[in-house]
Structure 1
Amino acid sequence: MSESVDRAVNAMKEQIDAPTASYFSSCVHCGICADACLFYTETGDPQYTPIHKLDLMRRVWEREYTFAGRIKKWLGLSRNITENDLTKWETLVYDSCTMCGRCSLYCPVGNDIVSMVRKMREAMVASGHAPEGLRHASKRSVEIGSPMGITAKTLEAQIKHAEKETGLEVPLDKEGVDYMMLLSSAEIAQFHEIIPAVTRIFHQAGVTWTLCSTAFEGTNSGIQIGSSDIAAELINRIVDGAQKLKVNYVISPECGHAYTALRWEGPNLIGKPYPFEVVHIIELLDQLRARGKLKVEGKDDTRQTFHDPCQMVRRGGVVEQPRTLMNLVATDFVEMPDHGMMNWCCGGGGGVSANERAEPLRRKVFSAKKQQLDQIGVERIVTACSNCRNMLEEGLEDNNMDEIEVIGLSEWLAEYLATPSADAAGDKS
């Protein structure tokens, strides 16, 4: 057994806890999870069946932790994992899985397949089998503070632009406020409108908030690549920033895995509870609406739909809030087939978008999203994840559908903020 194989096997043994063992033992090999995975449905290739992507870990579980497996191992009948196996399965767990969680909902016995993929990636990292793009993104996150290499100086430049555009202060490193806002790299480097948008919204609502120069990045590449050590280091950076500024809440941005990492996995990763609460930006906007602090005017007659980011909606439970917010001004909001908890992934989550090797497959499986859109005929897609936004724009262009606009929900709502002097809603469509 080679050194890398030995590391992988040992890492898998460490990752096989009681829940994972119960999932393997309760799996009835029905294959229903295949119909939940766009990589299978759009290619018809059985290797993309979700539970098959975990076959290496299943072999370790069977050999090390089951009576029959130990007997086979003693008799020399168990099948050993090889370097070639690791090379093959690396492409399965990184290129053909966005960790969207749809398979977990489909599983008739309730196995959380996506959590096992997450554990499988830990073993891949331990053995040195991880895509180059994700390795570089993780390195930049640790060393620079952002998977795209965005620095505090870049953020400060965007703050100046936002202040010039809005005429409002964009607070940076302000202590004693209620909220610390996180951003994704894409929101700083590409979607510049998000900072002016939240600045206007928070000003109208009277929210006290700040950005943090040492903890502005919400994206957690440690979760994506499968390294708890990296993930914990990035979470601790946010915790330290929030404690330094003495805030009560940390706002997760329009980024799916940022929400998963911070809200659901973070305290377990760092081994202690947070001294603050985590709220997704969409949750906060809906809370402001409910308290009468988010006021809009005008109606938008554009035929539009909402793309549900997997980590925010399916795995995070933020389902109704974006729809409530959209219905504030949208007069022609239509749902996609299989919307909400069962919506199809954009195809680029879970680090797939940062994995150049996976690009041809990712572009191919966008056909699942195309089929959804073809059935409803919209002019605009609203979403709440910057990665989804990038993947949607790219997929639409590939399929000659780029006449459909893609926009972030926070940004879109900011266009309809009521002015203090407004007496009545006007038509802005």
Structure 2
Amino acid sequence: MSSVAVPKRIFPTFDQVFQGFASQIGMLREMAPPPSLPETVRVRRAIDTLIAETNADEAVWLESCIRCGQCTNACHFFQATGETKYAPLRKMNLYRRVYQRELGPFRWWYRLVLSPIKLSDLEELQELVYDSCSECGRCTMVCPMGIDIASLVHHQRSALVAAELVPPELAALRMEQLHRGTVFGASAETLRRVVDTIREQAGIEIPLDRERAEVMVLSSAVDLVGNCQGLLATGKVMNHLGVDWTLCSDGFESANFGLLSGDMALWKKQVDPIVAAARRIGAKTLVIAECGHAYPALRWNPMLKGGDLPFEMMYMSEFLGRQAKAGRLKLTPIEGRITYHDPCKTGRRGGAFDEPRALLKAMDADFVEMPANREFNWCCGGGAGIFLLERATHLRDASFRIKMQQVDATGAETVVVSCASCRLNFESGRQKNHWGTRVESLVELVAEHLGDEPHTGRVMPIRGEAA
């Protein structure tokens, strides 16, 4: 266990990391594979995918929309642009056509009055389900009919995977993860080098590939090829708490471009080694790194049966927040007014609201909520892979201004985030708008404000402990 004070600038600053990622993202478009199938085959595969993924829930949702417009008011892309084509209810139109022509009870009629799906229809769908939907779930929350629009959007992403119509940036990273098992080149060897560097330069021990451990922790490519501060901070906090933990080089990557693109097979391929590693070491808890989309990729994976798993999954902010709420994590005061941005997937979709706020409370922060917070929080605009898409830049920038106004309304000097994708999008918005508000990672703040005396007992969250 180490309580060494860590110099903050062993690694690059986050704004330098952002610049590096921006240059790498710019090269992704050139790396994307071109379509290889005939047009008719691509269209048929998209239709067959939607048919295969349509069960009773989807059928009810597609039949139930009453065109009330509540989802429109909840969508940050519509609110930012005022363009009706971005209304969530319109994003279901193509799926509804396929359902009505292929599966619905009156399909014989709809085949007479509705035109068949063409490749041009699928090409137009790209902007609606990739560029202008972060699957944040705000529309689903307000729908009076209980339609899960975000899930319907994701089914359509799967259809576009089958039609070879994934946006080039996502397509390039999907192919890298599919064939190499890496993201931005972050391999098991990269992880080992980072662990060695942290140990040598910061004096922080990062357990790697231990045979047995009660807690298995994930990392992410953003950290491993970026400033590494997230992993350094994680090690400092875990060691301070006395956690019996490890990373596993055969299952460490939180990012899942199967989920982001809509490729269900890749989604499962990336999850399987993580679950296998956690089982092998006898982990009781799997802690997901600060990577928002990794939360649903693991915790709500439709290909996993959570009741059959011998371990509990939780997000980094949940894990640390439980320690703070139980009095096991003492933190020193933080200066300045602070607000907190709830990641959509862990917050609105996952309900993890109290734990990150418990950490800020433990730092005696001058904490101010945004005007719309918790389940009503507005998406930052970069989720579900949108941050990577060059052609979505104008949409992302416009929707971020909503978030910027929300932060400014609090008078906060610092906005705290607990998702690497959100942090990248905030940093992009900060630089483009010459915004003076600081953007900080929650786990890094915790590491900087650890109390003088480390916890000396064995730390394990109680399984099923109240969130």
Distance 2:440 2:177 in 1: 26
Identify the residue that residue 317 of structure 2 maps to in structure 1.
282
Write out aligned runs for 1:21-36 (5 A). 21-36=59-74
Contact 2:210 2:281 in 1 (8 A): yes
1:167 correspondence with 2:203: yes
Residue among 133, 136, 140 paired with 1:104: 140
Partner of 1:256: helix, strand, or coil?
Answer: coil
Contact 2:51 2:103 in 1 (8 A): no
1:192 correspondence with 2:228: yes
Partner of 1:278: helix, strand, or coil?
Answer: strand
Identify the residue that residue 70 of structure 1 maps to in structure 2.
108
Identify the residue that residue 303 of structure 1 maps to in structure 2.
337
1:270 Cα deviation (Å)?
4.7
Residue among 400, 413, 422 paired with 2:446: 413
Distance 1:142 1:240 in 2: 18
Contact 1:144 1:150 in 2 (8 A): no
Q: What do the CA deviations read for 1:64-120 (whole angstroms, capped 9, x no partner)? A: 2333332232xx322211111010011110000111111100111111110111111
Identity of aligned residues (%): 36
Write out aligned runs for 1:157-306 (5 A). 157-265=193-301, 268-270=302-304, 273-297=308-332, 299-306=333-340
- 61-70 or 235-244, which deviates more: 61-70
Distance 1:254 1:189 in 2: 15
Distance 2:102 2:142 in 1: 28
1:420 Cα deviation (Å)?
2.4
Dislocated runs of 4+, deviation >4 Å = none
The aligned amino acid for 2:66 is V
1:143 Cα deviation (Å)?
2.8
RMSD: 1.7
1:324 correspondence with 2:358: yes
1:387 correspondence with 2:425: no
1:421 Cα deviation (Å)?
9.1
Partner of 2:334: helix, strand, or coil?
Answer: coil
Residue among 314, 327, 333 paired with 2:348: 314
Identify the residue that residue 427 of structure 1 maps to in structure 2.
none
Identify the residue that residue 175 of structure 2 maps to in structure 1.
139
Partner of 2:303: helix, strand, or coil?
Answer: helix
Identify the residue that residue 44 of structure 2 maps to in structure 1.
6
Structure 1 pair 67/169, CA: closer, same or farther in 2 (3 Å)? Answer: closer
Q: What do the CA deviations read for 1:36-72 (whole angstroms, capped 9, x no partner)? A: 1111000011110112112111011112233333223
Q: What do the CA deviations read for 1:283-320 (whole angstroms, capped 9, x no partner)? A: 111222233321222x2221111011000101111011
Partner of 2:440: helix, strand, or coil?
Answer: strand
Identify the residue that residue 425 of structure 1 maps to in structure 2.
none
Write out aligned runs for 1:339-378 (5 A). 339-378=373-412
Residue among 130, 134, 156 paired with 2:192: 156
The aligned amino acid for 1:103 is C
Contact 1:175 1:245 in 2 (8 A): yes
Identify the residue that residue 458 of structure 2 maps to in structure 1.
none
Distance 1:274 1:334 in 2: 38
The aligned amino acid for 1:278 is M
Structure 1 pair 191/333, CA: closer, same or farther in 2 (3 Å)? Answer: farther
Identify the residue that residue 94 of structure 1 maps to in structure 2.
130
Q: What do the CA deviations read for 1:101-160 (whole angstroms, capped 9, x no partner)? A: 111001111111101111111111111111111111112222333322211222122212
Distance 1:416 1:29 in 2: 50
1:45 correspondence with 2:83: yes
Partner of 2:287: helix, strand, or coil?
Answer: strand
The aligned amino acid for 2:53 is Q
Distance 1:150 1:421 in 2: 32
TM-score, length basis structure 2: 0.86
Q: Would you say how many aligned residue pairs link Structure 1 and Structure 2?
A: 416
Contact 2:100 2:110 in 1 (8 A): no
TM-score, length basis structure 1: 0.93
Distance 1:225 1:72 in 2: 30
Distance 2:305 2:241 in 1: 35
Distance 1:29 1:281 in 2: 39
The aligned amino acid for 2:130 is Y
Structure 1: where are the runs of 5+ without partners? 423-429
